[in-house]
Structure formats: structure tokens, C-alpha cells
A and B are shown apart, each in its own frame.
Chain A
Amino acid sequence: MRIPILKLHNYLLISIQTEIDDQTAIQFQEDLLDKIHKSGASGVVIDLTSVEIIDSFIAKVLGDVVSMSDLMGAKVVLTGIQPAVAMTLIDLGIHLKNVPTALDLEQGLIKLQQELGV
């Protein structure tokens, strides 16, 4: 299973719609970095509106992909984290500090524009 990555101008947009298993998460990490490299995108929005569960492994993969993209020079914003998911993550002790987030896709794109100074 592959998570589709869409390109819009110099941004990449990802909406995670499926139940993520570990393998899909790792594959997504690789695919996204590869796509950043090939497209020269400067910003990425990962929308998590349809994601019902983020456990410690998925959280680590998401946090890592933000740091990895940052190293490459692309900014990533996570959007649409559900209330139940946010509460569960804090219970788990996962705070995802240094990870930019926004309420929804629209706010995420605004945040990217601010961060990139466009």
C-alpha cells in the first residue's frame, strides 16, 4: 500500500486516508523524501484528518520525516490532528515538539507561506 503524494506548485500535499501499518509508514517516509528531492518542493502539508489512531511508532515516523525534510530544506506542516488523537498522544507522553501543526489544510498552507516567507 502506498500513500499518494500530490504536487501543487512548489508544495507537496498528502492526505492520509488509510489505516497505516508500520510498513506503509516507512514506505511513505522514503517516498516523501524522494519526491521532495525530485520535485524541489519547498513545503509539505501532511493532512491527518482521517487518521483515527497514532501510536508511538507512527508518531516517531511522522516526527522523523519532519526532521528529515527539514534537513533537505523543505518545511513540513501536519494538519487536521483529531481531538481524540491529540489526547491519546499526550497520554502516551508524545508531545511532537518542534513539529509545526495547523488546524486544517487551509491553515497549514498559510503557515507554510509564513515560514517560507512567500
Chain B
Amino acid sequence: MKPQACVNIHKEWDIVGARQLGREMAKDLGFGTVDQARIATAVSELARNIYLYAEQGQICFEIIDTIERRGLCMIAVDSGPGIADISQVMQDGFTTSGGLGAGLPGVKRLMDEFDIRSEVGEGTKIKATKWIR
């Protein structure tokens, strides 16, 4: 069984709650301060995207602990409007909300693995993993 924790995102303060949980789990797992900041920031970006575009959703954290490697995986799921053109949202500077457009391409750079699936009208699922070096 995998240890898991989830945060529901439906109000603005949940963004803070999600990133605090992400940071705590990263710290407990033994990530250094820089990677803790990277993970917390990535959680913050994903949680904000849910809040801004889908209004509600969930972020789950999963500890991966195998003989080969250890890491933290986060899965952000929402049933919002979905993303029509994924390559567009993965470009630096692209935004529909007046933000910096750093969110998703930023999360990809902050984490080691990044996977995004989205269906218009169905929702979006993003999975991102950071490994302990």
C-alpha cells in the first residue's frame, strides 16, 4: 500500500494548505530545502490553476519508495473546462488570466517528471514527480 494524502481545492486558502502539506511531506521524505521549495512552489501553481480555471479539484500526494529510488508524486485532478491546446499552455508566457504565464512550464522545470492529460469539457489531470537525488 502506498502512503497517500489529498487536499481538496475549492477556496483560495486551500492553495496555501496544499503547498504546506506538499512541503511537509517533502521534508519528511528527506528532500533538501531547495527541493522542498521547488515542490511547494509546484503545488502552489497546480492548486492555483485548479482554483482559477476549474473552481474545484483535488491534489493528491503519493510517496514512492522502492529499492531503486524514492520520491514524491503529486496528482492534480479537476473536472473543469479542460485544455484545448496543451502545447499552447506549455509555452512560457502564455496566459488567459493576466498572470505571468509561468505556471505549467514552470512546474515542468521544477519537477523531474511531468505528465498532463486533458479533455475539453471533461477536466484535466496532471501528474508530476520529484526524485530524491
Q: Tell which of A56, A84, A91 touches B36, judged by Cβ atoms closer than 8 Å.
A: A84
For residue B102, which residue of chain A has the nearest CB? Answer: A56
Which chain A residue lies CB-closest to B13?
Answer: A21
- Whether A91 lies near B48 (C-beta < 8 A) is no
- Nearest CB of A to B69, in Å: 21
| Contact status B34-A52, CB under 8 Å | no
Contacts of A114 in B (CB 8 A): none
Contact residue among A19, A21, A55, A82 (Cβ-Cβ distance under 8 Å from B45): A55
Does the CB pair B16–A21 fall under 8 Å?
yes
Tell me whether A88 is interfacial, beta carbon within 8 Å: yes
- B interface residues, Cβ below 8 angstroms from A: 12-13, 15-16, 19-20, 23, 33-34, 36-38, 40-41, 44-45, 48, 92, 99-100, 102-103, 105-106, 109-110
Q: List, sorted by A's number, 14 A–B pairs whose CB atoms are closer than 8 Å.
A: A19-B16, A21-B13, A22-B12, A56-B100, A59-B100, A60-B100, A82-B37, A87-B34, A88-B38, A88-B41, A91-B109, A93-B100, A94-B100, A94-B102
